[in-house]
Amino acid sequence: MKTNQIKEPNGKLGVLIVGINGAVSTTFLAGVFAIRKGFAKPIGSVSQMATIRIGKRSENNFPFIKDFVPLESIDDLIFGGWDIRNESCLEASRYAQVLEEKDLARVADELEELRPMKAVFDQEYVKRLSGDHVKEGENKFDLMTQLREDIRQFKKENSLDRIVVIWAGSTEIFIPLADVHKTKESFVKGMKNNDRNISPSMLYAWAAVSEGAAYINGSPGLSVDIPAIMDLAAERNIPIAGKDFKTGQTLIKTVIGPMLKTRMLGLNGWFSTNILGNRDGEVLDDKDSFKTKEESKLSVLDTVLQPDIYPELYGNFYHKVRINYYPPRGDNKEGWDNIDLFGWLGYPMQLKINFLCRDSILAAPIVLDLILFADLALRANMSGIQDWLSLFFKSPMHSPNAVPEHDLFIQMMKLKNTLRELMNEKQITHVETEPAKSELERQA
Ligand SMILES: NC(=O)c1ccc[n+]([C@@H]2O[C@H](COP(=O)([O-])OP(=O)(O)OC[C@H]3O[C@@H](n4cnc5c(N)ncnc54)[C@H](O)[C@@H]3O)[C@@H](O)[C@H]2O)c1
Protein backbone atom coordinates (compact mmCIF):
# COMPACT_ATOMS: atom_id res chain seq x y z
CA MET A 1 0.00 0.00 0.00
CA LYS A 2 1.42 3.37 -1.00
CA THR A 3 0.21 5.70 1.68
CA ASN A 4 3.14 8.08 1.58
CA GLN A 5 1.05 11.25 1.76
CA ILE A 6 -1.38 10.02 4.46
CA LYS A 7 -0.33 9.97 8.09
CA GLU A 8 -1.20 6.68 9.78
CA PRO A 9 -4.08 6.90 12.31
CA ASN A 10 -1.90 6.56 15.39
CA GLY A 11 -3.53 6.98 18.78
CA LYS A 12 -7.21 7.68 19.28
CA LEU A 13 -9.52 10.00 17.36
CA GLY A 14 -11.55 12.54 19.33
CA VAL A 15 -15.14 13.03 18.16
CA LEU A 16 -17.06 16.01 19.50
CA ILE A 17 -20.75 16.03 18.67
CA VAL A 18 -22.85 19.16 18.83
CA GLY A 19 -26.31 18.02 19.91
CA ILE A 20 -24.94 14.84 21.48
CA ASN A 21 -28.29 14.16 23.17
CA GLY A 22 -30.30 14.25 19.98
CA ALA A 23 -31.98 11.31 18.24
CA VAL A 24 -29.34 10.99 15.52
CA SER A 25 -26.40 11.31 17.91
CA THR A 26 -27.64 8.86 20.52
CA THR A 27 -28.65 6.32 17.85
CA PHE A 28 -25.20 6.66 16.33
CA LEU A 29 -23.44 6.26 19.69
CA ALA A 30 -25.53 3.30 20.82
CA GLY A 31 -24.81 1.66 17.46
CA VAL A 32 -21.05 2.20 17.70
CA PHE A 33 -20.97 0.73 21.22
CA ALA A 34 -23.09 -2.25 20.11
CA ILE A 35 -20.82 -2.87 17.11
CA ARG A 36 -17.72 -2.70 19.29
CA LYS A 37 -19.21 -5.30 21.62
CA GLY A 38 -20.13 -7.56 18.71
CA PHE A 39 -23.90 -7.18 19.12
CA ALA A 40 -24.47 -5.54 15.74
CA LYS A 41 -23.03 -5.02 12.25
CA PRO A 42 -22.42 -1.52 10.83
CA ILE A 43 -25.30 -1.79 8.36
CA GLY A 44 -25.65 1.27 6.15
CA SER A 45 -22.04 2.32 6.59
CA VAL A 46 -20.07 2.74 3.37
CA SER A 47 -16.74 2.99 5.15
CA GLN A 48 -17.30 -0.31 6.99
CA MET A 49 -19.28 -2.46 4.57
CA ALA A 50 -18.60 -1.30 0.99
CA THR A 51 -15.88 -2.62 -1.27
CA ILE A 52 -13.89 -0.79 -3.92
CA ARG A 53 -12.72 -2.27 -7.21
CA ILE A 54 -9.01 -1.97 -7.90
CA GLY A 55 -7.72 -2.53 -11.43
CA LYS A 56 -9.59 -4.17 -14.28
CA ARG A 57 -12.81 -6.11 -13.77
CA SER A 58 -10.99 -9.27 -14.86
CA GLU A 59 -8.53 -8.87 -11.97
CA ASN A 60 -11.33 -9.54 -9.49
CA ASN A 61 -9.82 -7.34 -6.79
CA PHE A 62 -12.50 -5.87 -4.52
CA PRO A 63 -11.06 -5.02 -1.08
CA PHE A 64 -13.22 -3.44 1.59
CA ILE A 65 -12.79 0.33 1.74
CA LYS A 66 -11.74 0.03 5.39
CA ASP A 67 -8.91 -2.32 4.37
CA PHE A 68 -7.90 -0.28 1.34
CA VAL A 69 -7.46 3.15 2.98
CA PRO A 70 -5.95 3.70 6.43
CA LEU A 71 -9.17 4.61 8.27
CA GLU A 72 -9.30 5.01 12.02
CA SER A 73 -10.77 1.93 13.66
CA ILE A 74 -14.24 2.18 15.12
CA ASP A 75 -12.68 0.93 18.40
CA ASP A 76 -10.41 3.97 18.66
CA LEU A 77 -12.99 6.76 18.76
CA ILE A 78 -13.32 8.82 21.95
CA PHE A 79 -16.60 10.71 22.24
CA GLY A 80 -17.68 13.94 23.81
CA GLY A 81 -20.01 16.79 22.92
CA TRP A 82 -22.34 19.59 23.83
CA ASP A 83 -26.08 19.82 24.43
CA ILE A 84 -28.54 22.20 26.04
CA ARG A 85 -29.93 19.72 28.57
CA ASN A 86 -27.74 18.17 31.22
CA GLU A 87 -28.73 14.54 30.93
CA SER A 88 -26.71 11.45 30.10
CA CYS A 89 -26.83 9.96 26.62
CA LEU A 90 -28.71 7.02 28.11
CA GLU A 91 -31.54 9.24 29.35
CA ALA A 92 -31.47 11.09 26.05
CA SER A 93 -31.66 7.83 24.04
CA ARG A 94 -34.73 6.84 26.02
CA TYR A 95 -36.31 10.22 25.32
CA ALA A 96 -35.57 9.85 21.59
CA GLN A 97 -37.44 6.50 21.48
CA VAL A 98 -35.57 5.28 18.45
CA LEU A 99 -34.03 2.15 19.92
CA GLU A 100 -35.74 -0.47 21.99
CA GLU A 101 -34.87 -0.89 25.68
CA LYS A 102 -33.32 -4.32 25.00
CA ASP A 103 -30.81 -2.74 22.61
CA LEU A 104 -30.08 0.16 24.95
CA ALA A 105 -29.57 -2.19 27.89
CA ARG A 106 -26.53 -3.79 26.20
CA VAL A 107 -24.73 -0.47 25.94
CA ALA A 108 -26.27 1.31 28.93
CA ASP A 109 -22.95 1.73 30.78
CA GLU A 110 -21.23 3.44 27.86
CA LEU A 111 -24.21 5.74 27.22
CA GLU A 112 -24.63 6.56 30.90
CA GLU A 113 -21.01 7.75 31.11
CA LEU A 114 -21.45 10.30 28.35
CA ARG A 115 -22.67 13.71 29.48
CA PRO A 116 -22.70 16.89 27.45
CA MET A 117 -20.65 20.00 28.02
CA LYS A 118 -22.61 23.24 28.31
CA ALA A 119 -23.81 24.41 24.90
CA VAL A 120 -23.67 27.71 23.11
CA PHE A 121 -27.37 28.19 22.41
CA ASP A 122 -29.78 31.01 21.73
CA GLN A 123 -33.49 30.38 21.36
CA GLU A 124 -33.68 33.10 18.74
CA TYR A 125 -32.17 30.55 16.32
CA VAL A 126 -34.26 27.48 17.29
CA LYS A 127 -37.63 28.76 18.42
CA ARG A 128 -39.12 25.46 19.60
CA LEU A 129 -36.27 24.49 21.96
CA SER A 130 -35.24 25.56 25.40
CA GLY A 131 -32.62 24.32 27.81
CA ASP A 132 -30.56 25.59 30.73
CA HIS A 133 -27.29 23.73 30.19
CA VAL A 134 -25.98 26.72 28.32
CA LYS A 135 -22.84 28.85 28.50
CA GLU A 136 -22.91 32.51 29.44
CA GLY A 137 -20.55 35.00 27.91
CA GLU A 138 -19.85 38.67 27.29
CA ASN A 139 -20.52 38.34 23.58
CA LYS A 140 -20.41 35.77 20.76
CA PHE A 141 -16.63 36.01 20.54
CA ASP A 142 -16.36 35.13 24.21
CA LEU A 143 -18.73 32.15 23.75
CA MET A 144 -16.70 30.93 20.77
CA THR A 145 -13.53 31.23 22.88
CA GLN A 146 -15.15 29.03 25.55
CA LEU A 147 -15.87 26.39 22.89
CA ARG A 148 -12.21 26.50 21.83
CA GLU A 149 -11.24 25.94 25.44
CA ASP A 150 -13.61 22.92 25.61
CA ILE A 151 -11.96 21.39 22.55
CA ARG A 152 -8.47 21.97 23.95
CA GLN A 153 -9.43 20.49 27.30
CA PHE A 154 -11.01 17.41 25.70
CA LYS A 155 -7.89 16.91 23.62
CA LYS A 156 -5.63 17.21 26.62
CA GLU A 157 -7.67 15.04 29.00
CA ASN A 158 -7.81 12.22 26.47
CA SER A 159 -4.29 12.71 25.03
CA LEU A 160 -5.60 13.11 21.50
CA ASP A 161 -3.87 14.63 18.53
CA ARG A 162 -6.81 14.67 16.09
CA ILE A 163 -10.39 15.86 16.53
CA VAL A 164 -13.47 15.85 14.32
CA VAL A 165 -16.40 18.08 15.31
CA ILE A 166 -19.81 17.25 13.85
CA TRP A 167 -22.97 19.35 14.04
CA ALA A 168 -25.93 17.06 14.71
CA GLY A 169 -27.73 19.87 16.51
CA SER A 170 -31.17 21.18 15.63
CA THR A 171 -31.93 23.05 12.42
CA GLU A 172 -31.52 26.77 13.02
CA ILE A 173 -33.67 29.45 11.41
CA PHE A 174 -32.90 30.44 7.85
CA ILE A 175 -30.03 32.92 7.65
CA PRO A 176 -29.01 34.08 4.19
CA LEU A 177 -25.36 34.85 3.43
CA ALA A 178 -24.59 38.36 4.72
CA ASP A 179 -21.62 40.74 4.61
CA VAL A 180 -20.52 39.70 8.09
CA HIS A 181 -19.91 36.15 6.77
CA LYS A 182 -17.71 37.23 3.91
CA THR A 183 -14.26 37.74 5.43
CA LYS A 184 -12.44 36.50 8.50
CA GLU A 185 -12.06 40.08 9.71
CA SER A 186 -15.77 40.93 9.34
CA PHE A 187 -16.69 37.68 11.09
CA VAL A 188 -14.42 38.33 14.09
CA LYS A 189 -15.80 41.86 14.34
CA GLY A 190 -19.35 40.47 14.05
CA MET A 191 -18.75 38.00 16.90
CA LYS A 192 -17.57 40.85 19.09
CA ASN A 193 -20.59 43.00 18.13
CA ASN A 194 -23.09 40.15 18.61
CA ASP A 195 -24.15 40.36 14.98
CA ARG A 196 -27.58 38.70 14.56
CA ASN A 197 -26.46 36.94 11.39
CA ILE A 198 -23.98 34.85 13.38
CA SER A 199 -25.74 31.80 14.76
CA PRO A 200 -24.42 29.32 17.37
CA SER A 201 -23.61 26.72 14.67
CA MET A 202 -21.18 29.21 13.11
CA LEU A 203 -19.46 29.73 16.45
CA TYR A 204 -18.89 25.97 16.81
CA ALA A 205 -17.54 25.81 13.26
CA TRP A 206 -15.16 28.73 13.79
CA ALA A 207 -13.96 27.29 17.11
CA ALA A 208 -13.38 23.83 15.61
CA VAL A 209 -11.41 25.04 12.60
CA SER A 210 -9.39 27.41 14.81
CA GLU A 211 -8.43 24.42 16.97
CA GLY A 212 -7.37 22.35 13.95
CA ALA A 213 -10.42 20.06 14.07
CA ALA A 214 -12.22 18.89 10.93
CA TYR A 215 -15.83 20.15 10.91
CA ILE A 216 -18.93 18.48 9.46
CA ASN A 217 -22.35 20.07 9.25
CA GLY A 218 -25.21 17.54 9.32
CA SER A 219 -28.01 20.07 9.31
CA PRO A 220 -29.15 22.43 6.54
CA GLY A 221 -28.10 25.75 8.16
CA LEU A 222 -25.08 27.68 6.91
CA SER A 223 -22.76 26.91 9.85
CA VAL A 224 -19.40 26.29 8.17
CA ASP A 225 -20.70 27.18 4.70
CA ILE A 226 -19.60 30.80 4.77
CA PRO A 227 -16.55 32.36 3.06
CA ALA A 228 -15.01 33.54 6.36
CA ILE A 229 -14.76 30.00 7.77
CA MET A 230 -13.88 28.49 4.40
CA ASP A 231 -10.93 30.88 4.21
CA LEU A 232 -9.90 29.99 7.75
CA ALA A 233 -10.09 26.27 6.86
CA ALA A 234 -7.97 26.77 3.75
CA GLU A 235 -5.41 28.78 5.71
CA ARG A 236 -5.20 26.15 8.51
CA ASN A 237 -5.35 23.16 6.14
CA ILE A 238 -8.55 21.83 7.68
CA PRO A 239 -11.21 19.72 5.92
CA ILE A 240 -14.83 20.87 6.15
CA ALA A 241 -18.00 19.26 4.80
CA GLY A 242 -21.77 19.73 4.73
CA LYS A 243 -24.72 20.26 4.55
CA ASP A 244 -27.69 18.21 5.78
CA PHE A 245 -27.44 14.43 6.01
CA LYS A 246 -28.99 12.81 2.93
CA THR A 247 -31.38 10.24 4.35
CA GLY A 248 -35.05 9.66 3.37
CA GLN A 249 -36.88 11.37 0.55
CA THR A 250 -33.92 13.29 -0.80
CA LEU A 251 -31.93 10.07 -1.03
CA ILE A 252 -34.74 8.72 -3.23
CA LYS A 253 -34.88 11.96 -5.24
CA THR A 254 -31.21 11.71 -6.12
CA VAL A 255 -31.79 8.23 -7.54
CA ILE A 256 -35.13 8.72 -9.35
CA GLY A 257 -34.26 12.22 -10.67
CA PRO A 258 -31.12 11.01 -12.49
CA MET A 259 -33.10 7.99 -13.80
CA LEU A 260 -35.62 10.33 -15.47
CA LYS A 261 -32.87 12.43 -16.99
CA THR A 262 -30.79 9.44 -18.10
CA ARG A 263 -33.77 8.17 -20.13
CA MET A 264 -34.87 11.67 -21.25
CA LEU A 265 -38.30 11.34 -19.63
CA GLY A 266 -40.04 14.63 -18.81
CA LEU A 267 -41.37 15.87 -15.49
CA ASN A 268 -44.54 17.86 -14.83
CA GLY A 269 -44.47 17.78 -11.07
CA TRP A 270 -43.03 16.24 -7.92
CA PHE A 271 -44.94 16.44 -4.67
CA SER A 272 -43.13 15.22 -1.54
CA THR A 273 -44.79 15.15 1.83
CA ASN A 274 -44.13 13.34 5.06
CA ILE A 275 -45.23 12.92 8.65
CA LEU A 276 -42.63 12.93 11.39
CA GLY A 277 -43.06 13.08 15.14
CA ASN A 278 -39.60 13.41 16.70
CA ARG A 279 -37.99 16.55 18.16
CA ASP A 280 -36.51 17.35 14.74
CA GLY A 281 -40.08 17.32 13.38
CA GLU A 282 -41.15 19.65 16.18
CA VAL A 283 -38.28 22.07 15.47
CA LEU A 284 -39.12 21.99 11.75
CA ASP A 285 -42.73 22.84 12.59
CA ASP A 286 -41.47 26.39 13.10
CA LYS A 287 -41.64 28.18 9.77
CA ASP A 288 -38.17 29.75 10.03
CA SER A 289 -36.42 26.42 10.69
CA PHE A 290 -38.56 24.76 8.00
CA LYS A 291 -37.42 27.38 5.48
CA THR A 292 -33.79 26.30 6.05
CA LYS A 293 -34.77 22.67 5.42
CA GLU A 294 -36.96 23.53 2.45
CA GLU A 295 -34.12 25.37 0.69
CA SER A 296 -31.91 22.32 1.17
CA LYS A 297 -34.52 19.88 -0.13
CA LEU A 298 -35.70 21.97 -3.09
CA SER A 299 -32.30 22.60 -4.66
CA VAL A 300 -31.75 18.95 -5.54
CA LEU A 301 -34.06 18.50 -8.53
CA ASP A 302 -33.08 21.71 -10.29
CA THR A 303 -29.44 20.75 -10.18
CA VAL A 304 -30.04 17.15 -11.25
CA LEU A 305 -32.48 17.92 -14.06
CA GLN A 306 -30.84 21.10 -15.46
CA PRO A 307 -34.05 22.78 -16.71
CA ASP A 308 -32.01 25.47 -18.48
CA ILE A 309 -30.40 22.83 -20.72
CA TYR A 310 -33.55 20.68 -21.13
CA PRO A 311 -36.43 23.18 -21.18
CA GLU A 312 -38.84 20.84 -23.06
CA LEU A 313 -38.45 18.17 -20.40
CA TYR A 314 -37.87 20.07 -17.18
CA GLY A 315 -38.52 23.74 -17.91
CA ASN A 316 -41.86 23.86 -16.15
CA PHE A 317 -42.13 21.26 -13.38
CA TYR A 318 -43.87 22.01 -10.11
CA HIS A 319 -41.90 20.96 -7.03
CA LYS A 320 -43.41 20.97 -3.58
CA VAL A 321 -41.85 19.77 -0.32
CA ARG A 322 -43.83 19.49 2.91
CA ILE A 323 -42.94 18.26 6.37
CA ASN A 324 -45.77 17.68 8.81
CA TYR A 325 -45.16 17.34 12.53
CA TYR A 326 -47.23 14.36 13.69
CA PRO A 327 -46.21 13.17 17.18
CA PRO A 328 -47.68 9.62 17.11
CA ARG A 329 -45.08 8.48 14.56
CA GLY A 330 -42.01 9.59 16.55
CA ASP A 331 -38.79 8.97 14.61
CA ASN A 332 -40.54 6.59 12.20
CA LYS A 333 -41.17 8.95 9.36
CA GLU A 334 -43.58 8.12 6.57
CA GLY A 335 -42.95 9.87 3.28
CA TRP A 336 -45.02 10.00 0.11
CA ASP A 337 -43.74 11.11 -3.23
CA ASN A 338 -46.02 11.62 -6.20
CA ILE A 339 -44.16 12.08 -9.46
CA ASP A 340 -45.98 13.20 -12.60
CA LEU A 341 -43.77 12.32 -15.52
CA PHE A 342 -44.27 12.18 -19.27
CA GLY A 343 -42.89 10.10 -22.11
CA TRP A 344 -43.13 9.50 -25.86
CA LEU A 345 -45.60 11.92 -27.52
CA GLY A 346 -46.01 13.60 -24.16
CA TYR A 347 -48.17 10.83 -22.66
CA PRO A 348 -48.42 11.22 -18.87
CA MET A 349 -47.45 8.61 -16.30
CA GLN A 350 -47.28 8.55 -12.51
CA LEU A 351 -44.86 7.10 -10.03
CA LYS A 352 -45.74 6.82 -6.30
CA ILE A 353 -43.27 6.12 -3.58
CA ASN A 354 -44.30 5.40 -0.02
CA PHE A 355 -41.22 5.19 2.19
CA LEU A 356 -41.78 4.04 5.77
CA CYS A 357 -38.34 4.81 7.06
CA ARG A 358 -36.61 5.54 10.34
CA ASP A 359 -34.87 8.86 10.28
CA SER A 360 -32.11 8.26 12.80
CA ILE A 361 -31.49 4.68 11.64
CA LEU A 362 -30.70 6.11 8.20
CA ALA A 363 -28.61 8.99 9.56
CA ALA A 364 -26.45 7.10 12.10
CA PRO A 365 -24.18 5.25 9.62
CA ILE A 366 -23.68 8.51 7.71
CA VAL A 367 -22.37 10.09 10.91
CA LEU A 368 -19.84 7.26 11.27
CA ASP A 369 -18.71 7.47 7.63
CA LEU A 370 -18.34 11.24 7.73
CA ILE A 371 -16.27 11.15 10.91
CA LEU A 372 -13.91 8.50 9.56
CA PHE A 373 -13.54 10.06 6.13
CA ALA A 374 -13.09 13.58 7.55
CA ASP A 375 -10.30 12.23 9.74
CA LEU A 376 -8.73 10.57 6.71
CA ALA A 377 -8.86 13.94 4.92
CA LEU A 378 -7.26 15.60 7.93
CA ARG A 379 -4.36 13.13 7.86
CA ALA A 380 -4.05 13.41 4.08
CA ASN A 381 -3.76 17.22 4.25
CA MET A 382 -6.94 17.69 2.19
CA SER A 383 -8.08 21.13 3.19
CA GLY A 384 -11.29 23.07 2.56
CA ILE A 385 -14.56 21.68 1.17
CA GLN A 386 -14.50 17.90 0.80
CA ASP A 387 -16.89 17.58 -2.13
CA TRP A 388 -15.99 13.87 -2.55
CA LEU A 389 -18.19 13.39 0.55
CA SER A 390 -21.26 14.84 -1.22
CA LEU A 391 -22.73 11.30 -1.26
CA PHE A 392 -23.78 11.89 2.33
CA PHE A 393 -25.39 15.32 1.98
CA LYS A 394 -28.69 16.73 0.71
CA SER A 395 -27.13 20.03 -0.13
CA PRO A 396 -23.43 19.40 -0.75
CA MET A 397 -21.09 22.30 -0.13
CA HIS A 398 -19.27 23.36 -3.26
CA SER A 399 -17.02 26.14 -4.44
CA PRO A 400 -18.86 29.23 -5.74
CA ASN A 401 -17.81 28.53 -9.35
CA ALA A 402 -18.99 24.90 -9.50
CA VAL A 403 -22.46 23.34 -9.37
CA PRO A 404 -22.95 20.62 -6.74
CA GLU A 405 -23.25 16.99 -7.83
CA HIS A 406 -26.45 15.37 -6.53
CA ASP A 407 -26.65 12.11 -8.52
CA LEU A 408 -26.07 9.39 -5.90
CA PHE A 409 -24.11 7.11 -8.23
CA ILE A 410 -21.86 9.84 -9.62
CA GLN A 411 -21.25 10.88 -6.00
CA MET A 412 -20.24 7.30 -5.18
CA MET A 413 -17.92 7.16 -8.20
CA LYS A 414 -16.34 10.43 -7.05
CA LEU A 415 -15.81 9.09 -3.54
CA LYS A 416 -14.21 5.87 -4.77
CA ASN A 417 -12.02 7.59 -7.34
CA THR A 418 -10.84 10.02 -4.68
CA LEU A 419 -9.85 7.07 -2.50
CA ARG A 420 -8.09 5.39 -5.44
CA GLU A 421 -6.18 8.58 -6.15
CA LEU A 422 -5.21 8.95 -2.49
CA MET A 423 -3.75 5.45 -2.58
CA ASN A 424 -2.00 6.00 -5.93
CA GLU A 425 -4.26 3.51 -7.68
CA LYS A 426 -5.64 4.03 -11.18
CA GLN A 427 -9.01 5.81 -11.39
CA ILE A 428 -11.84 3.78 -12.87
CA THR A 429 -13.71 5.47 -15.70
CA HIS A 430 -15.66 2.35 -16.79
CA VAL A 431 -14.50 2.76 -20.40
CA GLU A 432 -11.84 0.06 -20.29
CA THR A 433 -12.55 -3.07 -22.33
CA GLU A 434 -11.83 -6.49 -20.98
CA PRO A 435 -10.14 -9.06 -23.26
CA ALA A 436 -12.94 -10.97 -25.00
CA LYS A 437 -12.89 -14.64 -24.13
CA SER A 438 -15.74 -16.96 -24.83
CA GLU A 439 -16.93 -19.35 -22.14
CA LEU A 440 -15.61 -22.25 -24.22
CA GLU A 441 -12.13 -20.69 -24.47
CA ARG A 442 -12.05 -20.18 -20.71
CA GLN A 443 -12.98 -23.75 -20.06
CA ALA A 444 -10.40 -25.12 -22.52
N1 LIG B 1 -32.45 12.16 11.08
C2 LIG B 1 -32.30 12.44 9.84
O3 LIG B 1 -32.61 11.66 8.97
C4 LIG B 1 -31.67 13.74 9.46
C5 LIG B 1 -31.42 13.97 8.12
C6 LIG B 1 -30.82 15.16 7.73
C7 LIG B 1 -30.51 16.09 8.67
N8 LIG B 1 -30.79 15.89 9.97
C9 LIG B 1 -30.46 16.96 10.89
O10 LIG B 1 -29.69 16.46 11.94
C11 LIG B 1 -29.94 17.27 13.09
C12 LIG B 1 -30.25 16.37 14.27
O13 LIG B 1 -31.45 15.66 14.05
P14 LIG B 1 -32.15 14.88 15.25
O15 LIG B 1 -33.28 14.13 14.69
O16 LIG B 1 -31.13 14.18 16.06
O17 LIG B 1 -32.73 16.10 16.10
P18 LIG B 1 -32.93 16.18 17.69
O19 LIG B 1 -33.84 17.34 17.93
O20 LIG B 1 -33.31 14.88 18.27
O21 LIG B 1 -31.47 16.52 18.22
C22 LIG B 1 -30.88 17.76 18.14
C23 LIG B 1 -30.09 17.98 19.41
O24 LIG B 1 -29.37 19.20 19.27
C25 LIG B 1 -29.42 19.88 20.50
N26 LIG B 1 -29.07 21.29 20.22
C27 LIG B 1 -29.78 22.21 19.57
N28 LIG B 1 -29.09 23.36 19.47
C29 LIG B 1 -27.90 23.14 20.08
C30 LIG B 1 -26.76 23.94 20.30
N31 LIG B 1 -26.72 25.20 19.88
N32 LIG B 1 -25.70 23.39 20.94
C33 LIG B 1 -25.73 22.11 21.39
N34 LIG B 1 -26.81 21.30 21.20
C35 LIG B 1 -27.87 21.82 20.55
C36 LIG B 1 -30.82 19.62 21.01
O37 LIG B 1 -30.93 19.86 22.39
C38 LIG B 1 -30.97 18.14 20.64
O39 LIG B 1 -30.52 17.29 21.67
C40 LIG B 1 -31.08 18.22 12.73
O41 LIG B 1 -30.55 19.46 12.33
C42 LIG B 1 -31.69 17.54 11.55
O43 LIG B 1 -32.37 18.43 10.70
C44 LIG B 1 -31.37 14.73 10.40
Among 34-43, 79-88, 183-192, 430-439, the range scoring the smallest mean pLDDT is 430-439
Ligand 1 pocket residue status of 168, Cβ below 6 Å:
yes
24 lines ligand 1 (CB under 6 A): yes
Taking the centre of ligand 1 as the mean of its atom positions, its distance from the CA of residue 440, in whole angstroms, is 59
Q: Do the beta carbons of residue 160 and residue 78 sit within 8 Å?
A: yes
| Strands of the 348-356 sheet, one edge to the other | 318-325, 266-276, 334-342, 348-356
Q: Is 416 in the pocket of ligand 1 (CB under 6 A)?
A: no
Check residue 334 and give its pLDDT. Answer: 92
Task: Say whether pLDDT at 439 is over 60.
Answer: no
Q: How far apart are CA 310 and CA 306, in angstroms?
A: 6
Cα separation, 254 vs 404, whole angstroms? 12
163 and 14 Cβ atoms separated by less than 8 Å: yes
What would the mean pLDDT of 274-294 be, rounded to a whole number? 80
Mean pLDDT of the 312-316 span? 96
Question: Cα separation of 173 and 152, whole Å?
Answer: 29
Q: Is the predicted pLDDT of residue 444 greater than 60, yes or no?
A: no
- The model carries a pTM of 0.94
Name the DSSP class of 134: B
> Mutate which of 16, 199, 280, 368 to test ligand 1's pocket (most atoms within 8 Å of Cβ)?
280
Write out pLDDT tens, residues 222-239.
999 999 999 999 999 999
Centre of ligand 1 from the C-alpha of residue 276, in Å: 14
Tell me what percent of the residues of the chain surpass a pLDDT of 90: 80
Closest atom of ligand 1 to CA, residue 247:
3
* Band of pLDDT at residue 194, cut at 50, 70 and 90: very high
For a pocket test of ligand 1, which of 24, 89, 289 has the largest count of ligand atoms closer than 8 A to its C-beta? Answer: 24
Q: Is residue 67's pLDDT more than 80?
A: yes
Structural domains of the chain, ranges and CATH numbers in brackets: 13-245+360-422 (3.40.50.720), 249-356 (3.30.360.10)
Q: How far apart are CA 85 and CA 115, in angstroms?
A: 9
> Given this model, what pLDDT does residue 437 score?
59
Residues 189-222: b if buried by 16+ CB within 10 A, e if exposed? ebbeeebebbbbbbbbbbbbbbbebbbbbbbbbb
